């Protein structure tokens, strides 16, 4: 009887060990010597995946999710627009920062469904040379969009604004005085066949390192 109990206990222990190894396999692989020593992994600015080189600003832009979860814009490790800050709105959420110092110049939300498009037109016209512009869509960003507004964003370096349509999602970082197309932009079309949410596409996340204006 003692032998049987011993064998049963051994089988149970081996089975538990096997299940534990299978369950935690991926997590186990992620454990590093640093974590064994009780040291936390380095946290990069704005929570992006890697640190930025010298004379670059870290940023992360997250679009809204349907008409429920608002967007977020982080620049140089500071959340400049978010639901928590209570400064976002339906449409286009735009942040302007000084391209040399990284200082916040202005942030504003523009209702692109029923708002006054002339306010956005004036806002974009007044952007000064060397200003970095960050944009996150929320709910609907294109109903009031016209050719003049699209041309402003093209001037800032956008490649996708001309095809932005009803309830499409869009995230973008550009600059006034940019001579080429911005490498920091993402766009997803509102399509009933592929939408993640009922009537809206999935949210977008854009992160990277924006070069500081040096001249």
DSSP code string of 4-45: HHHHHHHHHHHHHHHHHHHHTHHHHHH--HHHHTTPPPPPPG
Are the C-beta atoms of 112 and 141 separated by less than 8 Å?
yes
Q: How far apart are CA 30 and CA 53, in angstroms?
A: 25
Query: How many CB atoms are located within 10 Å of the residue 118 CB?
Result: 11
Q: What are phi and psi of 191, to 5 degrees?
A: -140, 120
Are the C-beta atoms of 82 and 72 separated by less than 8 Å?
yes
DSSP letter at 128? P
pLDDT at residue 43 in the model: 81
Place of tokens 């916040």: 104
pLDDT at residue 197 in the model: 86
Instruction: Convert the pLDDT of each residue in 47-101 to its tens digit.
Output: 999 999 999 999 999 999 988 899 999 999 999 999 999 999 999 999 999 999 9
Residue ranges, the chain, pLDDT below 50: 19-20, 22-37
Relative orientation angle of helices 117-125 and 147-155, to the nearest 10 degrees: 30
């Amino acid at each position: 009887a003692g032998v049987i109990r011993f064998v049963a206990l051994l089988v149970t222990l081996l089975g538990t060990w096997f299940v534990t190894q299978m369950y935690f396999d991926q997590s186990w692989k992620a454990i590093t010597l640093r974590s064994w020593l009780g040291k936390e992994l380095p946290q990069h600015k704005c929570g992006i995946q890697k640190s930025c080189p010298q004379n670059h600003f870290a940023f992360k832009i997250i679009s809204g999710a349907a008409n429920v979860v608002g967007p977020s814009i982080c620049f140089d490790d500071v959340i400049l627009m978010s639901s928590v800050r209570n400064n976002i709105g339906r449409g286009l959420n735009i942040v302007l920062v000084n391209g040399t110092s990284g200082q916040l110049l202005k942030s504003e939300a523009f209702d692109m469904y029923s708002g006054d498009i002339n306010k956005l037109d004036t806002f974009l016209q007044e952007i000064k040379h060397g200003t970095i512009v960050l944009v996150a869509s929320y709910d609907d960003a294109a109903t009031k969009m016209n050719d003049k507004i699209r041309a402003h964003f093209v001037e800032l370096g956008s490649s996708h604004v001309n095809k932005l349509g009803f309830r499409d999602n869009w995230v973008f970082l550009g600059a006034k005085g940019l001579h080429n197309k911005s490498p920091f932009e993402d766009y997803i079309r509102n399509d009933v066949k592929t939408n993640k949410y009922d009537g809206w596409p999935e949210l977008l996340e854009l992160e990277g390192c924006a070069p500081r204006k040096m001249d």
